[in-house]
Structure 1
Amino acid sequence: MDRFTKWLEAVPVREITADNVAKALFENWIARFGCPLRISTDQGRQFESSVFNALMKKLGITRIRTTAYHPQSNGQLERAHRTLKAALMARGATTNWSDELPTVLLGLRTALREDNNLSPALMTYGSTLRVPSDFFAPATTTNMSDEDYVRRLTQTMTSLSPSCTTARTTAKPFIHKDLGTCTHVFVRNDSVRAPLTPPYDGPYPVLQRHEKYFKIQLPHRETVVSLDRLKPAYICNETSNTTIPTNTASTPSIVNPVPSHQPYITRTGRVCKPNVRFAKEGVL
């Protein structure tokens, strides 16, 4: 989807391999509209592949990577997915949805938008597309000359600017104040989890801090995560040799506590085995 004109392209493919995705992008967008300056994608493996990155470098396109499990990073396209699925369901498309897709796309491209009362086709080509309804109810012709029409259309298109709509809600997500100073963070796992699975993974060290996201170090790679999925991790100093005073008459003395990842005996004599999940780095 083009961010300015809202022109939408949807290409059905059997497999979302890196080669198929790169080929679909080149044949259905770049070959028609040229090379864009920037392109925003999620962190899918097909977009992180060497084939896709080589295509971006070859064509001089800057790729913007959105944060994982954060659809607000590319909200315009995510909302278009919702509209596209609703249109396919209205057409009654179930197993043959790929046959109905071109008709649905034609309707979305010629529909007038509420923010500027213009269609994506008009903003892309400078002229409206002829839809099947024109065969039954032809549009009335005007007395405007072609030269005057082209001049006014050119002035209208040059004066257009991206519309900024207000947010639907003013509520802001809660962000812990210690995120600005903590050295490690926990990452919320927003994928489909099995029952009784802890909701957070980590802790992971923080490499860089930004206004909307953090760059953290996973066990095998670096990644960026939105602030909405983070909470600070408080790392205890396990190397301290402090002595805990106890009453030797009633409870056993504890000197130089053992590291937290090993079993230990409480005052009542019960053997405790701490959760190993927080004793070493986990894997997302």
Structure 2
Amino acid sequence: MAPDELKELKVQLQEQLDKGFIRPSSSPWGCPAHFVEKKDQGGKRLCVDYRPLNAVTVKNKYPLPHIDILFDQLAGAKVFSKIDLRSGYYQIKIRGEDIPKTAFSTRYGLYEYLVMSFGLTNAPAFFMYMMNSVFMNELDKFVVVFIDDILIYSKSEEEHKEHLRIVLNRLREHKLYAKFSKCAFWLKEVSFLGHILSKKGVAVDPSKVKDVLNWKQPETVTEIRSFLGLVGYYRRFIKDFSKTAKPMTSLTKKECETITSDRGSLFVSRFWEQLQTTLGTKLIRSSAYHPQTSGQVERVNQILEDMLRACALTYSTKWDECLPLAEFAYNNSYQKSLEMAPFEALYGRRCRTPLNWSELGERVTFGPELVTQAEEQVKFIHSDLKRAQSRQKSYSDKRRRPLAFEEGDHVYLRVSPMKGVHRFGVKGKLAPRYVGPFKITERCGTVAYRLELLPHLAAVHDVFHVSQLKKCLRVPKEAIDTSQIQIEPDLTYEEHPIKILDQKQRSTRRRTINFYKVQWNNHSEEEATWEQEEFLRTRYPDFLPSTSN
């Protein structure tokens, strides 16, 4: 022990000798003693390591109550009081022939306990048996007991007064003493066994889950199991806990039974499926708009798609000339979550453009200073991202409500391109997702609306579900032109080839593949794409001339 602990040991040994808890011993038994920190009001508690004694002790199987079962008895309770016994174990004497077995060695000699000590394997079971015997008539009526913690609960203050009187009389009869500083009476809300109890029900004590919230990210299987074991205690308070913890649980298994992947062409091919079947691996496909694989990347891709779609609709055939500007605009735009631009987050400094040269001045940053600034920037970004995620979730929960429109509102109508090769050779990703806006003329029920469509859309039914609509905040002077898009009654449209501009061949070891440069409807010759002959004959059998035998 350290010098300050030896000083404390001498003080506590003298106190326990004066109180009659211990006495000098000449027992052949002897276990080491050490200090542990007290949770309440600081200080140190003298504890004895009784593991050698516990190993040869016949175990008492008296059951300890399950905390969840104890809380089930509190239905309808509105008034609470709690009592904590002072040094509960020390209030029970040890049988004479067992006293030598409790001996412990210290720097100042060998001592043995005359009262029940902490650390004995049968101490909790015996103490629980004694407390249940004392309050047998009151248990599950208005008293809950867990070792040395007593909770009195009542449905009214009049009942509570009588219940308190009965409990205090029981303690007086059996000469059990409470620690007043840890007792509380006539409470509407009480902290008991790591939970908050009130008339509203049982909730988690925030002070008890602080360590869980600040838990560092697990990096090994052992750390994952430790974390899951800790949070598993609070699973009854976490909605869909098993679903949320499933990815971490799967990491604790010795073999990988499942693989979650997106729906890329490689992962949906028959070769890949057969390979995984042979290996005994189950494939799980990700679903649309759910961050199951690379959610952060997909979210960024949505923003980039919106930017490119705007360029395609505005500049038509010259959209590709805007790519460098679109890249620069995104990388140098302020991100609320990061509280800086992506360029600054990556390089640790702002992007030098002609617009901010005057702000930077003549200052030059050297290597070591740049590294230091980058490290500070990363720490700043991590903390900002945590705050932003929490803030965005609260905003989303607060503002989430069913989508509704009024007569006279203008809305955009969602359309879906049919599968095939569409503009720019990327299968329609840059094609417009919405057309309009259109005016709402009537509300049909609670989730459907009738729109005032243009004459060339007469074949389309004019009543649409609310999920197919997006509110137009202001009616623009120029709407998205739908006259050149042949929208089908099911709100889909298909782009088809209209002209062959060129032809070429590519030879492989086994065969020769023919390619055609095809112009699509609603697109210029500059937007033509190269397509395989096999695809065109399968998808558009009447487009290519028939081959001669």
Q: Which TM-score tier does this pair reach, normalised by the shorter chain?
A: 0.3 to 0.5
Higher relative contact order (CA 8 A, sep 6+): 1
Q: TM-score if structure 1 supplies the norm length?
A: 0.33
Q: TM-score if structure 2 supplies the norm length?
A: 0.19
User: Which is richer in helix?
Assistant: 2
User: Which is richer in strand?
Assistant: 2
Quick check: which has more Rg, 1 or 2? 2
